[in-house]
Amino acid sequence: MLKISAVSYLNTVPFIHGLKQSELIHSISLQLDYPSICADKLINGIVDLALVPVAVIPKLLQAHIISDYCIGANGAVDTVCLYSDVPITEIESIALDYQSRTSVALLKILLKEYWQLNPELKKADVGFEENIKGKHAALVIGDRAFALNDKHAYIYDLSAIWKEMTGLPFVFAAWVANKKLPQDFIIAFNKALEKGLSDIDTALVLEGANYPNCTNPEDYLNNKISYNLDAEKQKGMELFLKKVSAL
């Protein structure tokens, strides 16, 4: 039985729905985790396949991207943001979301190349998003960000700024295996994901109650998250990984 770790955020609902509705669900062990845990499980061989932050791909002994689908954005995404009560030029310290790998690396790249700023970066613990005040800001990812989008004076959407800087979309997470998987499984897996994405409304009816923080989940899944791992996203991912290696 293949062990799979998927991200436990709203943006993964179409994938989860597609897998649950497919025959594959009887031959896999599906676990839901936040992104940095997905990464740790794949790196340590606890699972065979995971929806992982793309920043961890270079850390894997074997990394096989096995799907045509990802968690990406072509501009603003609303759930990967730097929140602050002062303009970014006045920020002195930033708490880094413990649930993130890729977004932390993206923030470091943008601070260096786009803003050319060097605030103190601090590891954060549970509840850190409640302590954004004064010149202390925070990077927050995932569903907790929905509650913050009307709460702070300055919100910097990282994928929107990446798009402005590079002209390319951004890939936050991809389906990566740490070993070669059978081709028939890969075909069936992609079909299941495709089916889930083709029926987002039903996915929200069946799964949406588990994700109450978003006031307009239909808009978020259809217009903010971009799921196809197309050529432009692959270019954006390659550029990002190149910049990560230079950090």
Q: Is the pLDDT of residue 177 over 90?
A: yes
Tell me whether residue 239 is exposed, middle or buried, using C-beta atoms within 10 angstroms of its C-beta: 0 to 12, 13 to 18, 19 or more. Answer: middle
pLDDT of residue 3: 98
Q: What is the CATH T-level fold of the domain 80-166, as seen in this structure?
A: D-Maltodextrin-Binding Protein; domain 2 (3.40.190)
Q: Which long-range contacts (CB under 8 A, 24 or more apart) does 85-88 make?
A: 85/132, 85/133, 85/134, 85/137, 85/152, 85/153, 85/154, 86/134, 86/135, 86/137, 86/153, 86/154, 87/154, 88/115, 88/117, 88/137, 88/154, 88/156
Q: Is the pLDDT of residue 76 over 90?
A: yes
pTM for the whole structure = 0.95
Q: What is the CATH T-level fold of the domain 2-73+171-230, as seen in this structure?
A: D-Maltodextrin-Binding Protein; domain 2 (3.40.190)
Please state, in angstroms and rounded to a whole number, the distance separating the CA atoms of residues 179 and 96: 31
Domain with CATH 3.40.190.10 in the chain: 2-73+171-230, 80-166
pLDDT of residue 213: 86
**Tens of pLDDT along 198-233?**
999 999 999 888 888 898 999 999 999 999 999 999
Mean local confidence (pLDDT), 177-181? 97
Q: Is the pLDDT of residue 178 over 90?
A: yes
Please state, in angstroms and rounded to a whole number, the distance separating the CA atoms of residues 79 and 146: 7
Please state, in angstroms and rounded to a whole number, the distance separating the CA atoms of residues 89 and 113: 14
Q: Is the pLDDT of residue 52 over 90?
A: yes
Hey, what are 78's tokens? Answer: 């609303």
**Tens of pLDDT along 79-128?**
999 999 999 999 999 999 999 999 999 999 999 999 999 999 999 989 99
